[in-house]
Amino acid sequence: MKKIYILILLFMMTINIYPNISDNTYIDKYLLLTLNGTIDNSPITMHIKIKNPDSIMEGKISTIKGHYKYVIKNNTVQLEGSIDKKGMTINTPNNEIFVFTFKENQLYDIINSKNEVYVNLNGKWRNKDKSSECSIKTIKFIHCIHEIYMEKEYKGNACAIGSIYIDNKSLAIYKGKVTNITLNELISDMNDNLDKNMQTHNQNDNLNHTEFSYISDYFDNNIFSIINYYDVYYLENDMIYKSYVNIFDIDSLVKINNYLGNLVYDTEEFRTFLKNKIKEQTDNYENDNFSEYFDEYITSLNYAEIYFNTDGSLTIHFFFTREKIEYSFINISIEELKPYIRPDSFYKYLFSN
């Protein structure tokens, strides 16, 4: 929950970089790129998203998030870093560091290419034990995506909504649906809906109503994800809260089912494993009747959804009631889940060796 509220604050603090829109609208732009290269002649693939890439040419520093894998392995390693006019530095949680220095038009190719380009970007890689040469040979443009967030206040009430716009496809992902629309049309429609929300709820004092969407840090050659959040506060005491995830085919943007039952078979062995993982990650487990609650409440694994993380884990989100919200999110490593994966699952490729 704390992570969600931090994300709301970050949305509200975002600088408006689009001069033709109103002051209550905030937009962040992201480039999704796939980089193919080597570490000491061993092939690697990076999937990264760069925040507000246009600002780099203005001399600002932008952030990088994503993950990388060795081609011969399927182990995901989380990436975070920065990029400016001179180069980019990327770090991993296990103390690996990539350092690249740009030459000539390499930065321009990274930011502006809409296809796959050859860049031959050379750099240095090191971990706590050794160092080596590394390189990025090709960069493939995947998507240019905007996160849009709009907020208004009226008579003591506050409302906010958000959406995702895929610039290179002229498509919006708005309230979980894919719509063919221009960016200006989307912003206008969001503004109208926000006004309607304000009018609908203006009879309630001290109401705060928030809806927004953001891009997951994880994407690969097959999928990317949108995380959606919704809440309503009444009089600072009562709250309605909901979050859900949409996973899309990276090329066609067709929505892919992401229930837990689309990943694993529903067996007693798996349910026992699942309850043990929940027990490990929830402090209150021993003092609660959750084990009985779990058996009674979950009659199908379609009562939980999944999404993937850049650290080689997936998050399972259970649709529990408000009273059991502390049990709603758990993380499980991909390695631990391998014995339970359905052979016909769309996501099986993530669990192969």
Interval 147-204: pLDDT, tens: 999 998 877 778 889 999 999 999 999 877 899 999 999 999 999 988 887 776 655 5
Query: Which pLDDT score, from 0 to 100, does residue 238 have?
Result: 65
Short-list 221, 59, 70, CA closest to 140: 221
| Percent of the chain whose pLDDT exceeds 90 | 69
pLDDT confidence of residue 194 = 86
- 133 and 152 in a common domain: no
CATH code, domain carrying 132: 2.40.128
Residue 351 · residue 337 · CB < 8 Å: yes
* Tens of pLDDT, residues 236-284: 566 677 889 999 999 999 999 999 999 999 999 999 999 999 999 998 8
Does one domain contain both 86 and 233?
A: no
Residues 204, 249: one domain? yes
pLDDT band at 233 (very low <50, low <70, confident <90, very high): low
Give the mean model confidence (pLDDT) for residues 288-300.
89
Three-state secondary structure call for residue 58: helix
Q: Quick one: pLDDT band at residue 22, thresholds 50, 70, 90?
A: low
Give the pair of three-digit tokens for residue 213. Answer: 């969407």
Identify the pLDDT of residue 93: 97
The residue-averaged pLDDT of 90-119 equals: 93
Identify the pLDDT of residue 116: 93
Residues 72 and 133 in one domain: yes
Instruction: Give the residue-averaged pLDDT of 74-103.
Output: 96
Among 7-11, 90-94, 108-112, the range of highest mean pLDDT: 90-94
pLDDT > 90? residue 36: yes
pLDDT at 257: 96
User: Do residues 164 and 24 share a domain?
Assistant: yes
Does the pLDDT of residue 21 top 90, yes or no? no
Question: Same structural domain for residues 21 and 170?
Answer: yes
Number of domains in the chain: 3
- Across the chain, mean pLDDT equals 88
- Backbone dihedral region for residue 41 (phi beyond 0: left; psi -120 to 50: alpha; all else: beta): left
Residue 115 is part of which domain span? 29-143
Shared domain check, 137 and 148: no
Q: What is the CATH number of the domain that holds 175?
A: 3.30.565
Residue 340, classified by CB atoms within 10 Å of its CB into exposed (0-12), middle (13-18) or buried (19+), is middle
Are both 286 and 296 inside the same structural domain?
yes
Higher pLDDT among residues 257 and 9, named by residue: 257
Domain boundary among 143, 176, 194: 143
The position carrying tokens 């059991």 is: 324
Tell whether the model's pLDDT for residue 8 goes beyond 70: no
Q: Residue 204: what pLDDT?
A: 55
Confidence of residue 131 (pLDDT cuts 50, 70, 90): very high
Instruction: Check whether residue 303 and residue 344 sit in a common domain.
Output: yes
pLDDT of residue 230: 80
- Same domain (yes/no): 285, 342: yes
Q: What is the pLDDT of residue 203?
A: 59
| Buried/exposed 1-19: b ≥16 CB within 10 Å, e otherwise | eeeeeeebeebeebeeeee
- Of 225, 255, 285, the residue at which a domain comes to its end is 255
Whether residue 108 is predicted with pLDDT greater than 70 in this model: the reply is: yes
Do 150 and 21 lie in one domain? The reply is yes
The residue out of 229, 255, 281 marking a domain boundary is 255
State mean pLDDT over 8-29: 57
309 secondary structure, DSSP code: -
In three-state secondary structure terms, 308 is strand
Residues 136 and 82 in one domain: yes
- CA–CA separation, 13 vs 18, rounded Å? 15
Q: What is the CA angle 141-146-152, rounded to 5? A: 175
User: Mean pLDDT throughout 123-137?
Assistant: 96
